[in-house]
Amino acid sequence: MLGADKPIARYWIAAARSGRVKEADWQSWADELIATSDSPDNWLIEMSLAKSLDQLWRALESRLRQEHPDETNDDDAVLGHIWERYESGEISIVECLQKAGEEADSSSASLECETIYALLNELELSGDEAIVGQKAAKVFSDVQQTAAAQWTSLFADEGGTST
């Protein structure tokens, strides 16, 4: 049904780590695939039942082992998804920069936490969300593209709807 050549588990975990997707999102996606399969994989059934990021991670463990971890930087995708949350109006620029800074600080993302925190400091000093938002859009451009590519890939060929 879903070949191991597509890093589905990694992509879902990156989106969930960022807060972009919630339980209902991954459950709905898994349920759609289960409904079209005569014999769904166990990880897919467990994914449809997962109620937290930890449970999602455990559900996808077997799938993760099949995937190729060196293909992309999932930490970059997490940052890109956080930026997407800001752009969609789900979180404020302050919350975006705080979350992204914390994520960059504790990961191997290509975007340095110092760069993100410098934007946050500039925002706190100037109060000009428009100017800082424009600068941040440039800073987050590459990681946003990584997240967008992963997100699009999740819904290509298998059906489903994007969140």
For 87-140, how does the pLDDT look when each residue is reduced to its tens digit (9 = 90+)?
Answer: 999 999 999 999 999 999 999 899 999 999 999 999 999 999 999 999 999 999
Q: Say if residue 160's pLDDT is above 50.
A: no
Instruction: State how far the Cα of 98 lies from the Cα of 71, in Å rounded to an integer.
Output: 27
Q: What pLDDT does 155 receive?
A: 82
Confidence tier at 144 by pLDDT (50, 70, 90): very high
Instruction: State how far the Cα of 106 lies from the Cα of 78, in Å rounded to an integer.
Output: 12
Largest CA distance in the chain: 58
pTM score: 0.88
Instruction: State how far the Cα of 45 lies from the Cα of 49, in Å rounded to an integer.
Output: 7
Cβ-contact 150, 14 below 8 angstroms: yes
What size, in residues, is the chain?
Answer: 163
Q: How would you label 78-112 residue by residue, b for 16+ Cβ within 10 Å and e otherwise?
A: bbbbbbbbbeeeebebeebbbbbbebbeebebebe
